[in-house]
Structure 1
Amino acid sequence: MAKQIWKPGNMLYPLPAVMVSTADKSGRSNIITVAWTGTVCTNPAMLYISVRPERYSYNLLKDSGEFVVNLTTEKLKKATDWCGVRSGRDVDKWKEMHLTAGKASKLDHAPIIEECPVNIECKVTEIKELGSHHMFLAKVEAVQVGEEYLDKKGRLQLGKAGLLAYSHGEYLTLGKTLGTFGWSVRKLSASGRKAASRKRKK
């Protein structure tokens, strides 16, 4: 495979395309679309978002130290993009995109977005001023999950939600399931071994 050498850049794709809801202590709230986000720790559960200081939500985040990461879906693709290119200084994103601000279970200021399948409530523990973006490290305080995405055993089935991903300027939906965690080393059942054997003989 032929390769080209490019200048340093953020080419770690795909990424989750999420809408982050936040508010300051006076009650001013806003939604910002973020792709610079990810998991940093399991115990305690922690994640991060990175935001430019000039963004309207930046000072709201700093004031309350709270935000909610709201997972987005194909049905919310317009709102996801729109909230990323419009500023809360100029428009009420909640009103314009017909989104509902709901009550977080563990936060005092930042609301959840009711229309999103999963809402991850976070409190900021540290702000790292890295350059163009400042990283907000946060502890996950609670997670709200839409019951329609739970199966009969209470297991989360997010594959049914049509989650959005972001890749180099494009929005994508997650594709078909290719395997589950650990499938590559899992022992086959007796019926599975027989099926694999028949396949090899063909």
Structure 2
Amino acid sequence: MKIEIGKDFPKFFKPLYQEEFELFSHFETTAGIPTVLFAITTWKENGKPNVCFHSWSCFHGDKTAFFAVMGNLYQHTHTYTNIQREKCFCINFLPISYYDKLIDTIHQNDLETDEFEVGNFTLSQANVIHAPIIQEAFINMECTLKEVQDLSGAGITAMIIGKVEHISVDEKYAQGYERYGKDGFMMLIPAPQNILTGEPNQSAIASVNIEKYD
């Protein structure tokens, strides 16, 4: 038997925090789909570096180009404004050991704040775009802005599509599978709802455990 959840909000769903279902669709907690966590870095209009801890994204392309498709980026944020202005951004992949430092940049993110200082990150210049990069990241992905879409039309979030122009990989991660496990990609499991009782669960942070080679 399958439990059916429709587009109308299930009245028995209880929020984990007061504004949860003002920020997110109930489908997100119904599905609880894991996605990779990373830091978007841009320049603020006053020249201060900005860090945005983000998920809800995918990466794909064909032989002609490779794209970063970032969903659910709030339109009121510095990052959204910076990307619109600069037409570029950098994606930085860090392991779980940097989680707390990235959370600090969420809580200290005023216009005048140097968010690299907040996270104690080493700032480097991107190779081919005008954006700061986090030196500690094991992969830096430099992107130019290709497209912005407000999928819901509500003016709340946007989907940002970036064309990848350059990638830098830490030599320690250059052979391949070092990018997985506790020192590799960090994953968000977004608060999977108990859809039998409606009780909330916390979001979880995970790493990739390789089970099989194809």
Q: Letter of the aligned partner of 2:114 in structure 1?
A: D
Q: How does 1:1-16 map to 2 (within 5 A)?
A: 3=3, 5=5, 7=9, 9-10=27-28, 11=31, 13-16=33-36
Instruction: Give 1:163 shift.
Output: 2.3
CA shift in 2, pair 1:101/1:42, >3 Å: farther
Structure 2 stretches lacking a partner, 5+ long = 10-25, 192-202
Q: Letter of the aligned partner of 1:178 in structure 2?
A: E
Q: What does residue 34 of structure 1 align with? A: 54
Q: Any idea what SS the aligned residue of 1:70 has? A: strand
Q: What does residue 22 of structure 2 align with? A: none
Q: What does residue 77 of structure 1 align with? A: 99
Higher Rg:
1
Q: Aligned residues: percent identity?
A: 18
2:40 alignment partner, one of 20, 26, 29 = 20
Q: Letter of the aligned partner of 1:29 in structure 2?
A: P
Structure 1 stretches lacking a partner, 5+ long = 184-202
For 1:114 and 1:42, locate their aligned partners in 2 and report how far apart those are by CA, in whole Å: 28
For 1:63 and 1:31, locate their aligned partners in 2 and report how far apart those are by CA, in whole Å: 16
For 1:31 and 1:164, locate their aligned partners in 2 and report how far apart those are by CA, in whole Å: 16
CA shift in 2, pair 1:26/1:81, >3 Å: closer
Q: Letter of the aligned partner of 2:209 in structure 1?
A: K
Q: How many aligned residue pairs are there?
A: 177
Q: What does residue 127 of structure 2 align with? A: 105
1:59 aligns with 2:85: no
Give the TM-score taking structure 2 as reference length: 0.73
1:38-92 CA deviation, whole Å, 9 max, x = no partner? 1242331011223211112221111101111111211101022233344243632
For 2:186 and 2:208, locate their aligned partners in 1 and report how far apart those are by CA, in whole Å: 10
Q: Any idea what SS the aligned residue of 1:77 has? A: helix
For 2:209 and 2:120, locate their aligned partners in 1 and report how far apart those are by CA, in whole Å: 30
